[in-house]
Amino acid sequence: MDSELIAKFPFLEEARQFVDDSGADIAELITSPSYEPARARGVQRITDALAHSEVSYVPMVRASEYDRLMEVLSYPYARMIVSAVGDRFLTKRYALAEAVRMNRILVGEGRENTIEVSEQLNAPSTADADGIMRIRFTDYLRLANRMKSVDWKLINSDIHSGLVYLPQEKFSRLMQNALQDRIESELPLMTPDEFKPYLRGDINKVEMALAETKARFSPTGGEGMKIEFCPPCINHLLEMSRQGVNLPHSARFALVTFLSALGLSYDQIITIFSESPDFDESIAGYQIKHITGELSGGEAYTPPECATMKTNGICYNPDKICEQEWMTHPLKYYRFKSKPRRDGQPSRDAGGKSPTDARKKGA
Ligand code: SF4
């Protein structure tokens, strides 16, 4: 396999051989000035993931062997830094961004390379004379089960003799899922203690970028929850909890997921539930950790939409904002209310109009 191809797909087995043949080793990658470009590109892979959800593609057609080696080595370096930071959000976002990059490249690759990549991603494929890719339906189900669009339902697929036939574009998209799963399952890596001081500078850079990204994504902008921005349903549930009313499961679930999405810590959430009459820290703590994903190391549950809240009978005291057509989720309510008004005041009423705006228009 040529080095340009390895630089495109640095997760392939051949990358290991390429690096071995170059004489590079992990200690040099981390410490030697000769490998500074690989380290810088490794950090860029991660910051690209945080900023754009996609690792940028650097074409290597005319690149030297040295540049190709730096590109290949940047991949293990990025994985090392992600592992050392040890943040689940970062790991998932990085895995996705590497996989999106690969998808973008693979879609334009020839049949032979596509088959090789799929083989190494544990989803072997073949191609027919027209370039249509074929994959076992069991692999298809495994990789397509998270795709929401009806196009991906098996019933809408071209399937013969246990094989699903896919155009290159859809096939590459499936391989994106395969690579994302693989990277997530491989990380974190163990970093030997003696390397950690050398990694510290790059870990700090990534941690800063990570904190900025989290603040950007947080409905509160990283500033903590403000009660006046909460929707009436959540305020009602908080009040019930404060008064020691025993909340039904659906209400506890809605409250924990909402508070967790706003960035409240385990301690802050459990304090709220501690006023419940049947409070038992071991049970409540288990439930909170399960819902927030802390227990399983998995993904946190997302707060239910307004439609689910209504079905569960916990859409309490909806106000004018709740009546808006776009208001489908309690977090949307929070974001809307926390947007600053033109006059510098934070809160808004229905329809995006502040009370002042509404008066001006005679509403
Ligand atoms: S409409 Fe939505 S945000 Fe408003 S009270 Fe009901 S569930 Fe809460």
Cα–ligand 1 centroid distance for 253 (angstroms): 15
Cα–ligand 1 centroid distance for 98 (angstroms): 37
150 belongs to a structural domain: no
Cα–ligand 1 centroid distance for 353 (angstroms): 19
pTM for the full predicted model: 0.68
pLDDT digits (tens, 9 = 90+) for 287-313: 888 888 776 556 678 899 999 999 999
For residues 250 and 296, state if they share a domain. Answer: yes
Half-sphere exposure of 96 (CA within 13 A, CB side): 13
Residue nearest to atom 1 of ligand 1 (CA): 322
240 belongs to a structural domain: yes
192: left (phi over 0), alpha (psi -120 to 50) or beta: beta
Residue nearest to atom 8 of ligand 1 (CA): 233
Taking 90 as the threshold, does the pLDDT of residue 87 lie above it?
Answer: no
For residues 82 and 201, state if they share a domain. Answer: yes
**Would you state the pLDDT for residue 297?**
56
For residues 199 and 237, state if they share a domain. Answer: no
352: left (phi over 0), alpha (psi -120 to 50) or beta: left
**Would you state the pLDDT for residue 284?**
78
DSSP state of 146: T
Query: Can you give the residue range of the structural domain that contains 10?
Result: 1-86+188-217
For residues 207 and 303, state if they share a domain. Answer: no
For residues 308 and 206, state if they share a domain. Answer: no
User: Is any atom of ligand 1 closer than 6 Å to the C-beta of 258?
Assistant: no
User: Is any atom of ligand 1 closer than 6 Å to the C-beta of 330?
Assistant: yes
For residues 259 and 354, state if they share a domain. Answer: yes
170 belongs to a structural domain: no
User: Is any atom of ligand 1 closer than 6 Å to the C-beta of 76?
Assistant: no
For residues 324 and 253, state if they share a domain. Answer: yes
Taking the C-alpha atoms of residue 121 and residue 115, their distance in angstroms, rounded to an integer, is: 10
159 belongs to a structural domain: no
pLDDT digits (tens, 9 = 90+) for 192-212: 888 989 999 999 999 999 988
Atom of ligand 1 lying closest to residue 316 CA: 5
Would strands 163-166 and 125-127 be described as parallel, antiparallel, or unpaired? unpaired
Q: 350 CB contacts (<8 Å, ≥6 apart)?
A: 319, 320, 321, 323, 324
Taking 70 as the threshold, does the pLDDT of residue 131 lie above it?
Answer: yes
To test the pocket of ligand 1, the residue of 314, 322, 324 to mutate (highest count of ligand atoms within 8 Å of its CB) is 322
Query: Among 258, 303, 266, which Cα is nearest to 284's?
Result: 266
Beta bridge partners of 165: 134, 158
**Would you state the pLDDT for residue 286?**
83
pLDDT digits (tens, 9 = 90+) for 327-337: 999 999 999 99
For residues 45 and 77, state if they share a domain. Answer: yes
For residues 206 and 266, state if they share a domain. Answer: no
User: Is any atom of ligand 1 closer than 6 Å to the C-beta of 337?
Assistant: no
Domain count, the chain: 2
For residues 213 and 259, state if they share a domain. Answer: no
